[in-house]
Copies of this chain bind each other. A is one copy, B any other.
Amino acid sequence: MLKVAVIGATGAVGQEFVVALNKHKWFELTQIAASERSVGKKYVDAIRDPNSGILRWHNREQVPEYVKDMVVSKVEDIKPQDFDLIFTALESDDAKIVEPKFAKTTPVISTAAAFRYESDVPILIPGVNDDHADLLNAQRKTRGWNGFIAPLPNCTTTGLAISLKPILDKFGIKKIFMTSMQALSGAGRSPGVIALDIIDNVIPYIPKEEEKVQVEAKKILGNFVKDSIAPADFRVSCTCTRVPVIDGHTETVFVETDKTVEPEDVKKEMLNFSKNVSISKLPTAPSEYIVVHDDPTRPQPRIDREINDGMTTVIGRLRKDTAFDNGIKYVLLSHNEKMGSAKGAVLLAEMLKTQKIL
């Protein structure tokens, strides 16, 4: 068993880490840290809202027993050398300071954007760009670290990149237009989106989100040659919105391809990719990496987000595009707090372990 810590364990993403690591075969969560106001409290007390008294927990599973009485540490009191791996769920500004300290001695898997865009840092999605993981070794060398920092993509990028991978490999991609309808849990709980702002409403703006997706999709699907990543050659344009949905990001995607493309061919490629995905034997991997619906009313977030415990990218409405000469359009659903966040981070840890990078 590898010993792991979770930093930022009380927030939305941190809670998913606590669930994802419950009874994990390879990883044992032995310490949790969070912000000042939680320090010294038992976990189950730290996640309670101090004003309303409401337990700020919205996972379908109850708070796991193993963590309830674990006392929350100060981030500064974490001794990275005590751990084989540290998961961080921090705001970007905090991550910028804390993660390099940890990485000196210990591998860090991070949900923050802080290091995603540095040239010696890969943005890894297991099964999609496993070969980029080698950049972590280069990173170690360049920075003189024993550990490394491996950030996840933004939760809105994850499902998009997964769905694009089989299209890119078979048909080539020129342009992508994506509109997201993002879930509330993506904005966290402190306070995240307040109810008065979103009931019976859509908010057509999520600060910095579009820029992240546009850059990350190209980096993830880029080529890794000679210790550096050449961004993919396509162009991406996004509009990101918030809708009154608890969990699960829905995205409409229009893709211009290099070659002629038919919906049934894309479906075939997606299912092939899913079937043969490199990471299918890992403990946290879903039985299907991609599901493709023929039912035009799917995917729907409330119905489809929990399939395979939120680790599957669900595709529907595959149609020939009507504006591109060669193009395809579809709708995708990806669970922003499972595959797009903590559980995806655990899957990445598993992949890095099998690759012996961890």
Q: Does A55 sit at the interface, judged by CB under 8 A?
A: yes
Report which of B239, B252, B303, B324 forms a contact with A239, defined as CB distance below 8 A.
B252
Verify A177–B246 contact, CB threshold 8 A. Answer: no
| Chain B residues, CB < 8 A from A201 | 245, 300-303
B204 close to A299 (CB less than 8 A): yes
Q: How far is the CA of A192 from the CA of B192 in the complex (A)?
A: 11
* Partner among B196, B200, B243, B323 whose Cβ is within 8 Å of the Cβ of A177: B323
Q: Which of B60, B196, B235, B300 contacts A246 (CB 8 A)?
A: B196
- Is A175 interfacial (CB 8 A cutoff)? yes
Verify A189–B194 contact, CB threshold 8 A.
yes
Closest beta carbon of chain B to A157's beta carbon, Å: 15
User: Quick one: given A196-B192, A202-B300, A297-B205, are A323 and B235 in contact (CB under 8 Å)?
Assistant: yes
Q: Is the CB of A204 within 8 A of B60?
A: no
How many chain copies does the complex carry?
4
| Smallest CB separation, A176 vs chain B (Å) | 7
B200 touches A301 (CB 8 A): yes
Contacts of A1 in B (CB 8 A): none
Contact A243 B246 (CB under 8 A): no
The verdict on A322 contacting chain B, using a C-beta distance below 8 Å, is yes
Given contacts A205-B53, A239-B317, A244 and B200 within 8 Å (CB-CB):
yes
A179 adjacent to B179 (CB under 8 Å): yes
In the docked arrangement, what's the CA distance between A192 and B298, Å?
A: 18
A203 within 8 A of partner (CB): yes
- Return the chain B residue nearest A237 by Cβ: B323
CB-based contact A295/B235 at 8 Å: no
User: Interface readout for A262-301 with B: 1 if CB under 8 Å, 0 if not?
Assistant: 0000000000000000000000000000000001111111
Binding site for B on A (CB under 8 A): 51-58, 60, 62, 175-177, 179, 181, 184-185, 189, 191-205, 207, 214, 235-237, 239, 241, 243-246, 250, 252, 254, 295-303, 306-307, 316-317, 321-324, 327, 329, 331
* For the complex of A and B, 6 pairs with smallest distance between CB atoms: A191-B191, A237-B323, A179-B179, A235-B323, A239-B252, A201-B302
